[in-house]
Amino acid sequence: MVFSWRKTLIILLGLTLLPVNLEATIGFKQLQYALHEPIEITSDTDLLVFEGSGTYEEPYLIEGLNISTSDSYGIYVTNITKHLLIRNCFIDASFNSIFVENVFEGEIRIENNICFNSDKENGKGIIVFTTRNIVIQNNLCYDNEASGIVVTFCYNVLIRNNHCYRNGGEGIAVALIENLAMHDNECYDNSKEGLYLGGIEFATVLNNTCSRNGEEGVIIEESDGVIFKNNTIRENGKRGVFLHSSDYCFFKFNLFEKNTYFGLSLDDNCDGNQIFYNDFISNFNSERSQAEDNGLGNIWSNNLKEIGNFWDNLNGDSTYEIEGEAESTDLFPLVRKEELETSLINIYFISVVFSFLALFFFYANYDNLSYFSKIL
């Protein structure tokens, strides 16, 4: 092959023109922010300076701002009736970075913001209070004195795909909410819980990851009927999930792994909760039961389908005893897929050997069998 300087220069020029990927390590874009003073919106009139018309299709838009303040909120919103989108802002506020309260009409969407360093006492990244129809998604909240995200006394709330870490309180805390969806959030290295849910009605908690938090991975308190599925709860300082005074919750397809104490703990005011198809691995270092039940009538297996949970310290027993005053039992503990496949292979091998022996016996005694058939 003949070396060509012309082709080499063309290739190098093409490489320099390729688009550069500016995505941050956890998916947030490095944007050019415009410096801006703290924003206070107390009526619809205050929204008129922003782009948009306030409809669902064209909400008022607060976007691309760099707000830094040591003596106020970054963005404060109250008493509006229009739709508002707060997006792609970088907020370093000593108090709460974004604070929304008393919004009962329209929809508030808080998306793709970075909220950090709320270092005053009880400072939070995002706080929403007494508001209907709120969407909080794709935000990064870290190094706040208290919690990353707090939502309370609200209705119709979606909290999705947020990253909350190194906060002095909880990663995400929600309380007294009706109709809540918490999906695909990551909460790690927070001083308290990764997720806190208190006084919730109609909640789905799906595909969240809570790891390395200082206390529990998740606390669910006085919340009935919570659907808790496909979550990863690992390496938390106390229990993986603590269920307190909550009934008829549903735990399925979750991973509870390497939490310091129980993977899942139910107190004495929990009744009728269902727990099956979950993995419990190395909680309490697998030295004792990995779950605790002090409640009444909680079910640790689907007895109709004979499906329980996987326990890595089952030790070949046919049932798994749950620690606690309820004296509950997983009647149908699961085995790993690879272990199940090994068992099936063994069963198949035994059946083949048995069939071979039966066939051998048949041919070895063919003459006798023929004799008996003639007599009959």
CA distance 332 to 282: 19
Residue 344's pLDDT band, with cuts at 50, 70 and 90, is very low
* The pLDDT value given to residue 29: 55
pLDDT at residue 319 above 70?
yes
Which position has the higher pLDDT, 345 or 230? 230
CA distance 26 to 15: 25
CA distance 272 to 55: 44
Give the model confidence (pLDDT) of 39-76 as tens digits: 999 999 999 999 999 999 999 999 999 999 988 899 99
Residue 120's pLDDT band, with cuts at 50, 70 and 90, is confident
Q: Biggest alpha carbon distance in the chain? A: 107
* The pLDDT value given to residue 74: 96
Count the alpha carbons within 13 Å of 231 in the hemisphere toward its beta carbon. 30
Token digits for 185?
A: 């959030």
Give the model confidence (pLDDT) of 103-118 as tens digits: 999 999 999 999 988 7
Helix or strand or coil: residue 249? coil
